[in-house]
Amino acid sequence: MAHVSDAAPEAKADVGGDDTPPPQPDIGAIQRLSDVYRHGNRLMKETLSRSIDKKTLAEALEAEFPRRRLHRGYMKADLAAIRLPDPAPPGRPRHLYRVGTAVEHFDAGAQWRPGRVTRVIEQVKDEFDWEGDEEPTADDYHVFYNVDDMHMVPATELSLPIEFLLEEFGLRPLLWQQWAMLRLEERLRFQEDHPRDFMELDATEFGKKLWKIWLDHFDNRDFREKYDVHPFRDYLRERMLHPFRLIDMQTTEGGDWNVDESSNVSVYSYLSVLGAGGWMCACVFFVQILLPVALYFVSIDQPESRTFDPGYCSNEGTTVSKAVLFAVMLIYLIRVVPETMSNFLRTAGALDDPMSRTMSLRRVIWIQGDDTMFQRFGYALDVTMNTAYAALLYGLNILILYNTPPEDATDLILNALAIEFIHTLDEEIVDTSWWDPTKRFLKAGSVELTIRSTLRLHYVSDWRSFCKAFEVEEDAYQKALFGFSSLSLKDRAVATEDMGNPDNAVDNEDVWWLQLAALAVETRNARALAFFEGLPATFERVSLRKIARAALNWFSPRSHGVVGPDIIFGRYSKYYTWSKWEKVMFLPPPQRRGRGLRGRAPSKMHARQISPTGMANIEPSHSEEEIDVLNSARYGTSSLRNFKMKRLVDDSMFHHFREIWLVLSGYSFYVSVRNSIKRKERFGTIFSFFYGFIEWGAYMLDLLFPFVMVLAVVMVPACY
């Protein structure tokens, strides 16, 4: 049983350049109408329905179900007007967001999307006993929210806009998020039947513990004084803890982000997510390219080959051969085309299944430029082999079948089956019992993607970028780290010392843990050492990484490791410099300098500076024109009302296909190359440049493939 809250939706704002507020509907009338429909008083319903004019109902209807289906986003006025919801009536659940509130929704594309709450829905839980005499209490309800054209969104997927939270609390919580993600990675293990194994550890609870430790720190007392009395403190904490909750969703059985039951996973997906498995990918890629080309040259080498014959459409085939060829073409049309398009959309992150969500998260890291070289190659192969390759392979097979001698219908079937085997080889290997039968490695890789998408190691590794990003005075930073040989938080020597020092433990459990690990080393107790210090976990025994590091050593970009470590949950150990973090974590001011929304100067922060995963995109300032162009396609805020492309990207018909559109529009190519140039990555720039053209062509081929197959079903058998 569900009913609508007493709050009513606002009218939809004009999406044009006019800032005049739209006429507001009769809120009181709609509230009364909502109550009448809820309680089912027919007489009262008929009376009140006549008392509400048609215009008011039309405005309310357009607000919740807009015909143009354009995301409104939010403007500065929306942020300044954010208020806490009213207290819940007795026996009713608490609402976290009011109708009309500007929010952000974490969607299946692994990005925070701006929107506006249009309705609040209270739904009694399934386990409530309706046969009893008691009425539902507040604890017996689920509360959902309609946000623009998204319906029944749980509160866990909503947040107040990050821009609003940054204005209210400053950037210090974001720095905590960086430190906390590194602390989490240090604690996680890839070690079955271990209390700290990534499938066992409650990441959300660990994040809450780290938040409390940070909040109660003596050097954080100025922030704590403001935080304790701030009405939106819980919203800030939940937004900062969101990556931890996402990790729990990735490791919870049956969760929307758990890839346990995902199908259509290939060896290229493992290379894309883990950056490992290069040997197998190389072998499979060689087979999938060589065999179709070999079959094609064998077919045209036949005496009966008509590929270059002027009478190409000779119509000499037997009736049986034509029927077999037509059946093969029909199978391609009704099975291969839908399957190819589904794989294409899954790879592009446009579907709502766990693997598609993971690929969306993977694409976020690709756009950010935070992946290693092998992850980049893996992602490029995964996209290409699930888009252009399928279209080219079946297109080539049409030519192979057409050149098969007409008198041998058996060869038509065998050639078609051979192509099917070649096409699915990369997925068949993943389904074997010796590869990764429980997808444990893939799940661990998806957790690492969440950690990687939240961290901003490019700024943490360079102290001047750190100061600019988190609004820290350079003199204060240098003074805090006085006595250290390096001012960077990336320091292998300091990290090695800090990881084994009980003084840097986060809690008493860690102190005890480190002491036992040291005792295990001293007593040479191998089993205890494996338990307390852990075992390095890698996906492949013989890593291609070491060979590539030697071959590509002269490229060595300034980023955090283009040929990075392949140890699961140990990639960022150089940043475990806890003694340094202790001194700089509380340097950002608790209030952003000269900024604010409530009675202060309006913020100059643009939505371009917010990353899809919720972390601030703490980059040097861009020109207004550049920010406008980037913002329009990336984040979709209505502050850029006059940019036409923004309307197209944010339109709901592109809501599930926005990544495809960003590729076809050239935006993804531009961002990837720009990020590589900014970070002075020689290899990354060259790779991004060439792959940008390949990706664009791959997407176009896959979109054109269904039309080619429809034409082939008719033309090929007729000409055979």
What does the pLDDT look like over 481-534, one tens digit per residue?
Answer: 999 999 999 999 999 999 988 888 888 888 888 888 889 888 988 888 888 887
Beta strands at 102-106 and 141-147: parallel, antiparallel or unpaired = unpaired
Structure-block tokens of residue 318: 């037997």
Owner of token pair 């940043």:
575
- At 586, is the pLDDT very low, low, confident or very high (cuts 50, 70, 90)? very high
Confidence band, pLDDT 50/70/90 cuts, at residue 223: very high
**Of 252, 495, 268, 276, the residue nearest 354 (C-alpha):** 252
The conformational region for residue 599 under phi > 0 = left, psi -120 to 50 = alpha, else beta, is left
Range among 52-66, 214-228, 526-540, 587-601 rated most confident: 214-228
Q: Is 270 exposed, middle or buried (0-12, 13-18, 19+ CB in 10 A)?
A: buried
DSSP state of 104: E
Rounded to the nearest 5°, which phi and psi values hold at 303?
Answer: -60, -30
Taking a C-beta distance cutoff of 8 angstroms, is the pair 178, 611 a contact? no
Specify the pLDDT at position 295: 87
Comparing 29 with 95, which gets the higher pLDDT? 95
Q: Is the pLDDT of residue 183 over 90?
A: yes
285-300 tens-digit pLDDT: 999 999 999 888 887 7
Going from the C-alpha of 454 to that of each of 183, 238, 316, 376, the distances in angstroms are 13, 15, 62, 18
More confident of the two residues 490 and 18: 490
Residue 656: the pLDDT is: 52
Q: What is the pLDDT of residue 148?
A: 80
Does 109 score more than 50 pLDDT? yes
Token pair in block for residue 238: 């939940």
Q: Where are the domains of the chain?
A: 2-160, 165-252+457-584, 265-308+317-447+691-719
pLDDT of 68 reads 56
pLDDT, averaged across the chain? 76
Question: 351 pLDDT band (50/70/90 cuts)?
Answer: confident
For residue range 234-258, what is the model confidence (pLDDT) as tens digits? 999 999 999 999 999 999 887 788 8
Q: How far is CA 619 from CA 104, 167, 386, 463, 720, in A?
A: 21, 17, 33, 13, 60
649 has pLDDT over 60: no
Give the per-residue pLDDT at 175: 96
CA 578 to chain centre: 28
pLDDT at 535 over 60: yes
Contact 403, 295 (CB under 8 A): no
pLDDT band at 657 (very low <50, low <70, confident <90, very high): low
Q: What is the pLDDT of residue 317?
A: 65
| Alpha-carbon gap, residue 43 to 45, rounded angstroms | 5
Query: Is the pLDDT confidence value at 550 over 60?
Result: no
pLDDT tier, 541 (very low <50, low <70, confident <90, very high otherwise): low
Contact predicate 230/151, CB 8 Å = no
The answer to whether 628 touches 643, Cβ cutoff 8 Å, is yes
Greater confidence (324 vs 94) lies with: 94
Q: Which of 54-58, 419-423, 558-562, 588-592 has the highest mean pLDDT?
A: 419-423
Note the pLDDT of residue 10: 40
- For CA atoms 160, 163, 169, 173, give the dihedral sign: positive
Residue with tokens 């006549």: 50
Determine the pLDDT at residue 463.
92
Residue 655 has pLDDT above 70, yes or no: no
Q: Are 130 and 14 in contact (CB under 8 A)?
A: no
Q: Please state, in angstroms and as integers, the Cα–Cα distance from residue 425 to each residue in 110, 287, 291, 385, 470, following that order.
A: 29, 9, 12, 11, 48
pLDDT attached to residue 621: 32
pLDDT band at 323, cuts 50/70/90?
confident
Element (H, E) at 235: helix 233-240
Question: pLDDT value at position 595?
Answer: 46
Which amino acid, 229? V
pLDDT at 303: 59
Q: How confident is the model at residue 316 (pLDDT cuts 50, 70, 90)?
A: low
- Which segment of 60-69, 211-220, 384-393 scores lowest on mean pLDDT? 60-69
Query: Which amino acid does the sequence have at 451?
Result: I
* Share of residues in the chain with pLDDT > 70 (%): 73
Tokens at residue 64, please? 């919740």
Q: How many Å apart are CA 478 and CA 583, to the nearest integer?
A: 10
Mean pLDDT of 575-595: 86
**Distance (Å, whole) CA 538 – CA 516:** 25
CA distance 57 to 29: 9
The DSSP string of 291-359 is HHHHHHHHHHTSTT--TT-S--S-----HHHHHHHHHHHHHIIIIIHHHHHHHHHHHTT-SSSHHHHHH
| Interval 189-195 mean pLDDT | 89
Which residue has better confidence, 377 or 50?
377
Instruction: Report, in angstroms and rounded to the nearest whole number, the Rg of the chain calculated over CA atoms.
Output: 29
Q: What is the DSSP string of 512-574?
A: HHHHHHHHHHHHT-HHHHHHHT-----S-SS-HHHHHHHHTTTT--SSS-TT----TT-TTGG
Spell 425-454 as b/e; 16+ CB within 10 A means b: bbbebbeeeebbeebebbbbbbbbbbbbbb
Nearest to 507 by CA among 211, 193, 251, 237: 211
β-sheet bridge partners, residue 144 = 121, 154
Cα–Cα distance, 44 to 49 (Å, whole number): 8
Question: Which stretch of 335-344, 471-480, 561-570, 614-623 has the lowest confidence by average pLDDT?
Answer: 614-623
pLDDT for 566 equals: 55
The whole-number pLDDT of residue 66 equals: 64
**pLDDT tier for residue 304 given thresholds of 50, 70 and 90:** low
Question: Distance between CA atoms of 75 and 280, rounded to whole angstroms?
Answer: 50
Please provide the distance, in angstroms rounded to a whole number, between the alpha carbons at the two ends of the chain: 61
Q: Tally the residues of the chain.
A: 720
User: Is 572's pLDDT higher than 60?
Assistant: yes
> Distance (Å, rounded) from C-alpha 590 to C-alpha 385?
48
Q: Per-residue confidence at 348, pLDDT binned at 50, 70, 90?
A: low
Predicted confidence band at 443 (pLDDT cuts at 50, 70, 90)?
very high
